[in-house]
Amino acid sequence: MNRVGAFSRSMGFKAMLIAILILVMLVPAALVRQVVRERSSRANEVEQDILESWGGELLLAGPVLRIPCRRLEEVKRLDADGRETREFKEVTFDLWVSPARVEIAADLKTSRKSRGIFSVPVFSGLVAMTGDFDATEAIASLGERETARLEQAEIVVSIDNQKGIRGLERASWEGAPLAFKPGDSGLGLLAGGIVAPVVVAPGRRSPFDIGLRVQGGRRVRILPLGEATSASIAADWPAPSFQGSYLPGSQSLDERGFAATWDISYLSRGIPLYWIGSGGTSDRLTRSFFGVDLIEPLDLYALNDRAVKYAILFIIVPFMTLFMLELFSRREIHPIQYLLAGLAAMVFYLLLLSLSEHIPFGAAYLSSAAAVSLMVFMYSWSLFGDIGKAWYMGPVMTLSYLYLFITLQSEDWALLIGAVGAFGVVGLVMFVTRNVNWYGRNHRIQAPEPQPADGE
């Protein structure tokens, strides 16, 4: 037998062939991951459609006071004789005033809206806004030729999606009812809003009380516009994620929901208490939003995507187990049979994805892992014809799936758990194969010939 023929029959060559097959199996693994991402993208599209119809994400800014003003500007012109003449032109502008004090309280109830197999959490409830305005300093800041038209003043509450407003619970200014209508009067912070005429008098504080019934989904954002802003958000949702420029000063969370409070001073915003126009200030204001995201306690597509990341493990494990059984049972397994075992591991991810869209993720995982483990065990039994040898495949697959499930549930520890698992698998393979003759069964390592002693 020549050296090439001997090497082709060695277990070393078989191990190299298995390594190539593992690389080949990465192609279907990538295709499975693409399917997971496509389903996740489809779910996001449906969820966005539902949210858009319901009222979108709740972004709220205000209330803020708009006072129309006029300015007389001197204009110099030359007449027909070349003489300079002067005249005054009236220019209008808006003076925006933040509340001296504002308290915002959002009390929300959550539910789920579904379309087909997809669903998204939504909420509805009451946002109460109380406080007072004092426009004295803002009006006093006007120039000599600038005049405030106090009779045209308006209070403005800005919202990102007009559909998010279900109605008014109450609305009053200095104890008198407010007549709101749609619009933001040029504030320009968000896409929509409501506005109502008010009576402003310098030198006194004007209290307001607004109760707005709202609806939306996924997240709540509030803009702190007051000199002193106090805000609270409460909802019966067990998985809040506080986001934005400010984190809550206090919060509570239990199985019934959460409650969080913020106390924000205008000194932390870098935004004046009153300003002219909205262009230069809007960008700085929009960076000050804060609030909460209502995240899914168990995002099945995120879990499926994380599971597919470990696909290489479930290609290597059945391949190495079959190889060990082949090595010690002295029964050859064809490369196609290795590929079939690898494809069974890929089917697990498709089963997991499709089942988790209809039943809880834990039940879907258990069903998929049990089905694939049983199929691989039965296939190994048919290959070796000995249940005693094929039995090893069952516990190996079961432990692998159990290890993956623990990793998926421990997001913060996933990297450490995966690293320890990889270390253990490599160490076990090294220990089991420490005495394997990778050069072939007929190869013998010849001991070195004894050297003659000095002087012989």
- Say yes or no: 100 and 141 in one domain: yes
Are 172 and 208 within 8 A, CB to CB? Answer: yes
Regarding whether 328 and 206 lie in a shared domain, the answer is no
Q: Which of 294, 309, 340 is the last residue of a domain?
A: 294
Strand pairing class (84-97; 58-78): antiparallel
Q: For residue 66, which amino acid is it? A: R
Peptide bond just before 177 cis, omega within 30 deg: no
Using the 3D structure, point to which of 294, 326, 360 is the last residue of a domain: 294
Residue with tokens 């000995």: 386
Q: Do 133 and 26 share a structural domain?
A: no
Is 195 inside a domain boundary? yes
335: in domain: yes
* pLDDT attached to residue 280: 52
257 in helix, strand or coil? strand
Q: Answer yes or no: do 186 and 334 share one domain.
A: no
Find out whether 70 and 90 touch, Cβ atoms under 8 Å: yes
Q: What is the pLDDT of residue 358?
A: 87
Q: What is the extent of the structural domain holding 183?
A: 62-294
- Chain-centroid distance, C-alpha 105: 25
Select, from the ranges 73-77, 359-363, 432-436, the one with the highest average predicted confidence (pLDDT): 359-363
**Assigned domain for 139 exists:** yes
CATH number of the domain enclosing 243: 2.60.40
341 and 425 co-located in one domain: yes
DSSP string covering 164-175: GEEEEEEEEETT
Q: Distance (Å, rounded) from C-alpha 268 to C-alpha 142?
A: 25
Query: Does residue 193 share a domain with residue 158?
Result: yes
Identify whether residues 169 and 316 lie together within a single domain.
no
Kindly report, residue by residue over 296-334, the tens digit of the pLDDT.
777 788 888 888 887 877 787 777 777 777 777 667 777
Q: Tell whether 289 and 312 lie within a shared domain.
A: no
Closest CA to 149 of 93, 193, 102: 93
pTM of the complete model beyond 0.85: no
Query: pLDDT tens-digit profile of 35-66?
Result: 888 888 888 888 888 888 888 888 998 799 99
Assess whether 108 and 140 both reside in one domain: yes
Cα–Cα distance for residue pair 414/405, rounded to 1 Å: 10
Q: Are 249 and 224 in contact (CB under 8 A)?
A: no
* Segment 260-264 mean pLDDT: 92
pLDDT in the model for residue 1: 46
Identify whether the C-beta of residue 127 lies closer than 8 Å to the C-beta of residue 158: no
Domain identity same for 187 and 255: yes
Residue at which a domain ends, from 294, 316, 345: 294
Could you give the number of structural domains in the chain?
2
Q: What is the per-residue pLDDT for 109?
A: 93
Nearest CA to 344 out of 373, 367, 364 is that of 373
Asked if residue 166 lies in contact with residue 209, where contact means CB atoms within 8 angstroms, the answer is no
Domain identity same for 126 and 252: yes
DSSP H/E element including 311: helix 311-329
What's the mean pLDDT in 172-189?
Answer: 86
pLDDT band at 6 (very low <50, low <70, confident <90, very high): very low
| 450: in domain | no
Contact yes or no for 148/142 (Cβ under 8 A): yes
Q: Are residues 89 and 213 in the same domain?
A: yes
